[in-house]
Amino acid sequence: MESVLRGLAVYVVLLVVTRLSGRRTMAQITPFDFVLLLIVAETTQQALLGFDYSITNAVIVIVTLFGSDIAFSYIKQLSPRSAYLLNGVPTVLISRGEPDFAALRRARVSLDDVLESARQQHGLGRLDEVEFAVLEIGGNLSIIPRKR
């Protein structure tokens, strides 16, 4: 039972920490972010297993983590409010060609990042060619070009 409680506790803590840390795109991951991810993984492994490194305990923890993820996905389907709290909502970074600097700051995304996505997705080279830029829930940038 202790393994199940450990698994649930670590799942909830990781969920809260990742939710509070914001949504940066995976393309923005720095070498330090990668090292931090490895450290978190090692620390999490130790917290999950404690001193019991048996296969049985590992299986219990794995099933608990996947079960928690499945349970939360059902909760999000049943309650839009919980989906909002757990996932957040897309963030409009540029609207009708005008940057929302407060949203960019909150999301920790620079105009250069937006322009890079605009170039990659649509071959756009200037900010005035972007109608909307949206930071999606999953962390990717969606660019909607202006109609010409």
Give per-residue pLDDT as tens, 96-132. 989 999 999 988 888 998 999 999 999 988 888 999 9
Are 10 and 59 found together in one domain? yes
Residues 34-52: pLDDT tens digits?
888 888 888 888 888 888 8
The CATH code of the domain that includes 122 is 3.30.240.20
Q: Which domain holds residue 37?
A: 2-87
| Closest by Cα among 83, 102, 84 to 93 | 102
Q: Residues 48, 73: one domain?
A: yes
Between 26-30, 57-61, 68-72, 141-145, the lowest mean confidence (pLDDT) is in 26-30
- Total domain count, the chain: 2
Whole-number pLDDT of residue 66: 93
**Range picked from 20-29, 50-59, 102-111 for highest mean pLDDT:** 102-111
Q: Which of 53, 68, 93 is nearest to 10 (CA)?
A: 68
Q: Rounded mean pLDDT of 69-93?
A: 89
Looking at residue 24, its pLDDT comes to 61
Query: Do 66 and 137 share a domain, yes or no?
Result: no
Rounded to 5 degrees, φ, ψ at 147 are: -75, 135
The pTM of the whole model exceeds 0.75: no
Question: To which H or E segment does residue 114 belong?
Answer: helix 111-122
Which domain-ending residue is among 50, 72, 87? Answer: 87
pLDDT given at position 2: 85
